[in-house]
Chain A
């Protein structure tokens, strides 16, 4: 019981640390906890939730008739519950109903955030990127990766994003070399180099 309470408290501190609301002693606890694998997963989950719910500045668009098409599709589709449920144990059915209800509720909350008053094309985070520039990544070739969605090293080969581009690290390091960013103040990583093997 105490262990559960303690875990819950640490999770709250990790969440508060992520939001920049930690007191200093809580920060120390959160940092120590993040060295444990279980809490690292919490850290990633909090980020994913935060990314989905809070970010609305990314320049991504859904088509203006997205809502109407979605509603029409929902109206016309006649799902056969037996086909969905037949391979599941009986007690799983209720869980799926709850999960679907939760998803629909989430849609109901999120869609108005993305929908403009005039019905024009509006921004929606973490779908497919589209930019005004003709040359900029289009629907087909650009995928926006939310901060913290996945670690670079854990991505599968089939995921089309530029994180797999090995040059990304080089550009990032080259930028930090000259930028006045706070990271540059404490990182001396540099990218563009010429290798010389042997004695200096």
Chain B
């Protein structure tokens, strides 16, 4: 009987503690998302994806509701991105290409604001963990553990007291780190507006490019067996191919139209691309860090899936893609 009372006592004490931790972690996630927008900071962060490692310098300014940001890649080909609110200009000096476009994804990671917290609770366990130190900044660790094998887990660290995310890791079910972003240096406070400018003042001789996307509501293609918590975020028709940069330096394929459907559970995202078989493709599955890419032919169509999710989810989605005539 004593043991029973002890267990009941522990449950009474511990359950509210865990509940508080969950609420606290989710509230912190929302603060993290807001913090990346509404304060000024400058620093260098490193992105590790599999064995790929790159570093970038970021300068972010927030003043009277006006958000400005400059990200400069420090490795490989020189790339500079300048953003003012939702307007993004990308500079590619080696190819003399200038891209002007609207930022499409408002749901910066973690995209908790647009999601029902209750839904995320069904699929992840949120825990506040220890205080750690990243880039010389104290931060509070948040552990996000998936409840099934269709998602990865995350470890985030929010700076104290600013709540800026200074570390984000994606881990598989074995807690193997697949992808991580971490600041290696970080300074808070107003930034010099001159540092937000780019050195390329005269770009009149550069090639200008713009996005080519058309929103579609109902193409007839569906994914029947979506795991609980995932929902379709977008469906667009877009162009793929020519003009796209190639990491491998290989010749770009011809420009052609594809259908893109984006699914997300708030933390993980998967895109399904469908197109008539018109250009040469290679079937296969590739994993780079947390990103899995799979391509296969189904009838007269070529299907490509891309997502920061386990292969198990990619396989599940691939098995349930269907065309239903309108």
Nearest CB on B from A145, distance (A): 5
Q: Please determine whether A196 and B208 come into contact, CB atoms closer than 8 angstroms.
A: yes
In the complex, are the beta carbons of A193 and B51 less than 8 A apart? no
Per-residue CB proximity of B229-250 to A under 8 Å, as 1/0? 0000110101111111111111
Closest to A188 in B: B81
Contact partner, A152, options B236, B242, B248, Cβ 8 Å:
B248
**A192 contact set on B, CB distance < 8 A:** 211-213, 238-241, 243-244
How far, in Å, is A16 (CB) from chain B's closest CB?
A: 11
Chain B residue with the shortest CB-CB distance to A145: B286
Q: Give chain B residues whose Cβ lies under 8 Å from the Cβ of A20.
A: 155, 169, 171, 177, 180
A18 to B40, CA, bound (A): 30
Q: Are A180 and B264 in contact (CB under 8 A)?
A: yes
In which size bucket is the chain A interface? 35 or more
* Least distance between B59 CB and chain A CB atoms (Å): 13
* Pick from A28, A57, A182: contact of B109, CB under 8 Å: A182
User: Nearest Cβ distance between residue A141 and chain B, in whole angstroms?
Assistant: 5
Stretch at the interface among B8-16, B117-125, B306-314: B306-314
- Known A55-B172, A164-B248, A194-B210; judge A178-B271 contact (CB<8 A): yes
Report the contact-size class of chain B (Cβ under 8 Å from the partner).
35 or more
* Segment touching A, from B20-28, B96-104, B188-196: B96-104
Q: A162-B282, A183-B179 are in contact. Are A132 and B51 (CB under 8 A)?
A: no
Q: Is the Cβ of B56 less than 8 Å from the Cβ of A163?
A: no
Given A20-B177, A172-B291, A179-B269, the answer on whether A190 and B304 have CB atoms closer than 8 Å is no
Interface flag for B182 (CB, 8 Å): yes
Nearest CB of chain B from residue A129's CB, rounded to whole Å? 5
The answer to whether A50 and B176 have CB atoms under 8 Å apart is yes
Contact of A193 among B111, B212, B249 (CB under 8 A): B212
Asked whether B248 lies within 8 Å of A171 as measured between CB atoms, the reply is no
Is the C-beta of A61 less than 8 angstroms from some C-beta in chain B?
Answer: no
**Which residues of chain A from 108 to 158 have a CB within 8 Å of any chain B CB?**
129, 131-133, 135-138, 141-148, 151-153, 155
Contact B174 A54 (CB under 8 A): yes
Contact yes or no, B295 A165, CB < 8 A: yes
A169-B283 in contact given A136-B318, A193-B239 (Cβ < 8 Å): no
User: Is A100 at the interface (CB under 8 A from chain B)?
Assistant: no
Is there a chain B Cβ closer than 8 Å to A23's Cβ? yes
Q: Please give the distance in Å from A7's CB to the nearest CB on chain B.
A: 19
B179 → chain A, closest Cβ, in Å? 7
A167 / chain B contacts, CB cutoff of 8 Å: 240-241, 244, 253, 279, 281, 304
CB distance from B54 to the nearest CB of A (A): 9
Q: Is B319 an interface residue (CB 8 A)?
A: yes
- Chain B residues with CB under 8 A of A94: none
Say yes or no for B105: interface residue by CB 8 A criterion: yes
Known contacts A24-B135, A136-B294, A153-B249, A191 near B287 by CB under 8 Å: no
Q: In the assembled complex, which residues on chain B have CB atoms less than 8 Å from the CB atom of A153? A: 247-249
Encode contact with A along B27-46: 1 for CB under 8 Å, 0 otherwise. Answer: 00000000010000000011
Which 4 A-B residue pairings sit nearest by Cβ, starting from the closest? A148-B51, A147-B50, A180-B111, A179-B269
List 8 extra interface pairs beyond A129-B285, A188-B90, A188-B103, CB under 8 A: A136-B294, A147-B288, A148-B288, A167-B304, A178-B260, A180-B266, A181-B109, A196-B208
What are 6 residue pairs bridging A and B, where the CB atoms are less than 8 Å apart in the complex? A148-B288, A179-B307, A180-B107, A187-B47, A189-B79, A191-B244
